[in-house]
């Protein structure tokens, strides 16, 4: 059973495609994934955008697989020459590619559906239909992710660091329901309702982040919370200051925040308003 008194896993996002970096298309995945996570009381820890370059994609995926993060990778899992994600995932894991048997069945179902819609016979041996099966060629260790839009699945690979990478298409109409499905099944235990996750902070004047770093490190070491420090040099009301705070499970934040305030007073810091979110 998941111990939800601890911090939830870190979530990451990889967006793949030259069209994003060239400006031909505006990325929509980052704000949507932030929204999907926030609706469940979760947050995105990092995001990375990579062009259609096998070396860079493989390196980005190797980093993700080596971490304990839960990562969503959007794009590049098709079967055209500029789609490299499936091959790069296998290379990053050091495993061969193979046609996933369940993916094959789903792709064949989709091809049969299209043939019926068009009023033509289904010809499984036709060259273009054989080529479409490449969309189900995944790293040998992969598990499929259902695609409610057109049945062509995505896939999941567990990493070596304890996390997992979930691969979905670049099309939002497919990717977003697939990510929602994952969040509401595999990560449902980490969902947080109102009041389950608390953030408390205080405005600090006349202090340097470097002198407060040992205090922040001690709080994260002693409590299952995250400490944050937001410096500002030109705030319209408070001027130069640091907003220093803790965020985490409601059961852990009060003690951690008490330690923060005691430590700040011990440093002789000038304290301003306290904030609760």
* Phi/psi of residue 159, nearest 5 degrees: -90, 180
Q: How remote is the C-alpha of 183 from its chain's centroid?
A: 10
d(CA 169, CA 188) in angstroms, rounded, equals 22
Domain check: are 138 and 33 in the same one? yes
pLDDT of 5 > 60? The answer is no
d(CA 13, CA 33) in angstroms, rounded, equals 8
- Our count of domains for the chain comes to 2
In sequence order, the β-bridge partners of residue 232 are 241
Q: Mark which of 175, 190, 205 sits at the end of a domain.
A: 190
Q: Mark which of 190, 207, 242 sits at the end of a domain.
A: 190
Domain membership of residue 3 (yes or no) is no
Domain membership of residue 152 (yes or no) is yes
Percent of the chain with pLDDT over 70: 98
Domain check: are 48 and 151 in the same one? yes
Domain membership of residue 36 (yes or no) is yes
pTM, two decimals, is 0.84
Q: Name the strands in the sheet holding 164-168, side by side, starting at the edge strand that comes first in the sequence.
A: 44-50, 11-16, 70-74, 164-168, 154-158, 143-145
Q: C-alpha angle with apex 173: 170 to 179, nearest 5 degrees?
A: 75
Domain that holds residue 225: 197-276
Domain membership of residue 2 (yes or no) is no
Q: Tell me the average pLDDT across 211-219.
A: 95
179: closest CA among 225, 147, 222?
Answer: 147
Domain check: are 172 and 232 in the same one? no
What are 232-246's pLDDT values in tens digits?
Answer: 998 888 899 999 999
Domain check: are 24 and 140 in the same one? yes
> How confident is the model at residue 130, as a pLDDT?
96
Domain check: are 172 and 221 in the same one? no
Domain membership of residue 139 (yes or no) is yes
Q: Mark which of 159, 190, 221 sits at the end of a domain.
A: 190
What are 77-115's pLDDT values in tens digits?
Answer: 999 999 999 999 999 999 999 999 999 999 999 999 999
Contact 224, 6 (CB under 8 A): yes
16: left (phi over 0), alpha (psi -120 to 50) or beta: beta
Domain check: are 143 and 260 in the same one? no
> How confident is the model at residue 3, as a pLDDT?
47
CATH number at residue 24: 3.40.980.10
d(CA 96, CA 89) in angstroms, rounded, equals 10
Domain membership of residue 67 (yes or no) is yes
């Amino acid at each position: 059973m998941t111990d939800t008194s601890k911090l939830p896993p870190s979530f990451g996002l990889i967006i793949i495609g030259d069209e994003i970096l060239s400006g031909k298309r505006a990325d929509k995945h980052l704000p949507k994934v932030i929204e999907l996570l926030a609706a469940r009381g979760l947050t995105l820890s990092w995001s990375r955008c990579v062009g259609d370059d096998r070396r860079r994609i493989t390196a980005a995926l190797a980093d993700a697989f080596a971490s304990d993060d839960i990562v969503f990778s959007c794009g590049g899992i098709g079967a055209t020459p500029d789609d490299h994600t499936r091959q790069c995932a296998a290379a990053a894991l050091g495993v061969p590619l193979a046609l996933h048997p369940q993916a094959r069945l789903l792709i064949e179902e989709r091809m049969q559906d299209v043939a019926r819609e068009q009023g033509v016979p289904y010809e499984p041996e036709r060259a273009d239909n054989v080529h479409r099966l490449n969309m189900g060629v995944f790293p040998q260790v992969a598990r499929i992710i259902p695609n409610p839009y057109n049945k062509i699945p995505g896939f999941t690979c567990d990493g070596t660091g304890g996390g997992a990478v979930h691969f979905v298409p670049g099309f939002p109409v497919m990717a977003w329901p697939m990510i929602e499905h994952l969040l509401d099944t595999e990560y449902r235990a980490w969902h947080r309702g109102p009041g389950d996750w608390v953030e408390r902070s205080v405005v600090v004047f006349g202090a340097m982040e470097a002198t407060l770093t040992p205090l922040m490190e001690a709080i994260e070491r002693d409590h299952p919370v995250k400490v944050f420090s937001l410096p500002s040099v030109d705030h319209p009301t408070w001027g130069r200051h640091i907003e220093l705070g803790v965020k985490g499970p409601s059961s852990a934040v009060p003690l951690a925040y008490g330690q923060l305030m005691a430590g700040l007073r011990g440093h002789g810091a000038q304290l301003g308003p306290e904030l609760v979110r």
